[in-house]
Amino acid sequence: MELKGRAALVTGAGRRVGQAIAIGLAQAGCDVAVHYHGSAAGAAETASRIRAVGRRAELLAADLENAAAARALADRAARALGRLDVLINSAAILVRQPVAEITPESWDRTLNLNLRAMFFVSQGAIPHLRRAPPPGKIVNLADVAAFEPWPAYLPHCVSKAGVVMLTQGLARALAPEIAVNAVAPGAVLLPDDWDAATRAHFAETTPLKRLGSAEDVVSAVRFLLEGTDYVSGSVLVVDGGRLIR
């Protein structure tokens, strides 16, 4: 797929990896619908940086925990941009939840935002992506937590394992028109409260001997969009080799 002149919706585009992806797609020639919920200032920064490279940016606020709002988001993006060719499902939360402290509410919030919302945003996008010439693509943001248990983040791990299966299921359901893939980042944009020693340990214990960057994830997303049209249902792990240690 040639990205120049395409229209993309990026969820969770007000911060961290979602912001980097939105800006990276604009640099590749896309107009971008910038979704956000709690990160209004970050979303405004994203939009400003998109416009700075000469592309359109439309800000779309929505609480994706509301299934109706999630389903309607693609319609809003298509109306704002005039079309929709690419969906990047990046919105997610990461909350430390030791097993004894998990509540029904905290469990549901993580699963709703990280997994259920992804399905309903995708469901709403399907008609628009099918009309794109050629049909559009979906890239979901998974996580290496889908493949290894993190005891203090079990709801997150379960949600990201679900993202992998959702990606594969949608790829089967939407073939041959729409390709659906996922990117699973590893140690990328580590939490701000991690000290220098912890960061150094992560880098040293990664086979490629460095931490990942948001740009590493952007490159993976762009590969799945424009580097090949013969991949669907795949999960591209971007973790410097940590899963194979």
Question: Is 80 exceeded by the pLDDT of residue 193?
Answer: no
Q: In 3-state terms, what secondary structure has residue 138?
A: strand
pLDDT at res. 1: 93
Confidence of residue 83 (pLDDT cuts 50, 70, 90): very high
Query: Mean of the per-residue pLDDT values for the chain?
Result: 96
In sequence order, the 6+-apart residues with CB closer than 8 A to the CB of 63 are 37, 69
Q: What share of the chain is helix, strand, coil (3-state, %, to 5)?
A: 50, 15, 35
What is the model's pLDDT at position 201? 87
Q: What is the DSSP string of 197-223?
A: HHHHHHHHTSTTSS-B-HHHHHHHHHI
Could you confirm whether domain 7-244 is CATH 3.40.50.720? yes
CA distance 95 to 92: 10
Q: What letter does residue 193 receive in the DSSP assignment?
A: T
Lowest mean pLDDT among 68-77, 170-179, 188-197, 234-243: 188-197
Q: What is the pLDDT of residue 124?
A: 98
Instruction: Pick the closest to residue 63 from 91, 31, 42 (CA basis).
Output: 91
**Residue 235: phi, psi to the nearest 5?**
-120, 115
Which pLDDT tens digit goes with each residue over 18-38?
999 999 999 999 999 999 999
Q: What is the pLDDT of residue 216?
A: 97
pLDDT digits (tens, 9 = 90+) for 14-23: 999 999 999 9
Query: Of 146, 7, 169, nearest to 88 (Cα)?
Result: 7
Domain boundaries, the chain: 7-244
